[in-house]
Amino acid sequence: MRAHIDVNERDIGKLALEYEDRPPQDVLRWMVERFGSQAAICTSFQADGMAILDMAWRIDPSIRVFTIDTGRLPQETYALLDQVREKYDIAIETYFPETMQVENLVRQHGVNLFYRDSQLRLLCCQARKVQPLKRVLSTLDAWVTGLRREQSSTRATVQKIEIDQEHGGLIKVNPLANWTEQQVWDYIREHDVPYHSYYDQGYTSIGCAPCTRPTAPGEDPRAGRWWWEIGVDKECGMHCTIESGRFVREFEAELNRNGGGI
Ligand code: SF4
């Protein structure tokens, strides 16, 4: 259950400024000292998340780590998850979508609905990613992400410490906000951090198996995500509100009517 977080926009803004030029480890240390077990790292086992996990574990080996298993992840992600469990000796808290939501989604729209329409894609992301994320965030005071400003225009204004108003006002910590991709990989190599095998096959961003493919040299790093969608934000709704259409609004209305299980 979320504890009372006594923070306001002004204080967090000041903290974000204070930590802007400090290394990610300082931000993580502040978070661990401030929130303890009420904070957790969210990772999908991409390079950024792996660097953060390694940094945080060196500060506090009991740091909580969670992931969302959408049910459509590539086998290689599960292999890395096991590798991480073993190397760091930590439990990875794994959260799944609500069974009934996915069953209804597939019954109504098919298992590969995302290829047909961007609104159906967002609907799938809602059920498989956003709803389980909301469930875990409702129990936390702070969460950590691997968001970096250079990843996309939708992430260009990310602060190292901010209030996550979209998820009820908990603290969102983005220690790598001002890091480059090169800095992430330098850290991974220097500290022998395990990384996803897809990076060696040309992937630059990794998510669900049917929605991710390698990128060509020079292509936008997130171009391999939902590559068939042109001219839309390459986001799933976990990190920012996306203008949603009829399907998603109906889905959310249904959730509200049935208390979570459509
Ligand atoms: S990335 Fe693809 S499979 Fe995964 S939740 Fe989103 S639409 Fe569904």
Residue 124 Cβ inside 6 Å of ligand 1? The answer reads yes
**Strand order through the sheet with 39-42:** 92-95, 64-68, 39-42, 142-144, 170-173, 161-164
CATH 3.20.20.10 for domain 9-257, yes or no, is no
User: How many residues in the chain?
Assistant: 262
Give the nearest ligand 1 atom to 121 CA.
Answer: 7
How much is the average pLDDT of 86-110? 97
- Give the three-class secondary structure for 206: coil
The percentage of residues in the chain with a pLDDT greater than 70, rounded to a whole number, is 88
pTM of the model: 0.90
C-alpha to C-alpha distances, 22 to 15, 41, 148, 221, nearest whole angstrom: 11, 19, 15, 26
Q: Which tokens sit at 98?
A: 């609500």
pLDDT in tens, 199-239: 999 999 999 999 999 999 988 888 899 999 987 776 676 77
Q: Which residues lie below 8 Å from residue 228, measured CB to CB, with a gap of 6+?
A: 115
- Cα 20 to ligand 1 centre (Å): 33
CA 74 to chain centre: 16
Domain spans, the chain: 9-257
State how far the Cα of 116 lies from the Cα of 236, in Å rounded to an integer: 16
Q: How many CB atoms lie within 10 A of CB 121?
A: 21
pLDDT in tens, 27-80: 999 999 999 999 999 999 999 999 999 999 999 999 999 999 999 999 999 999
pLDDT band at 262 (very low <50, low <70, confident <90, very high): very low
Decide if pLDDT at 184 tops 90: yes
pLDDT in tens, 142-167: 999 999 999 877 788 899 999 999 89
Question: Is 236 annotated as catalytic?
Answer: yes
- Cα 21 to ligand 1 centre (Å): 35
At residue 207, φ and ψ (nearest 5 deg) are -140, -135
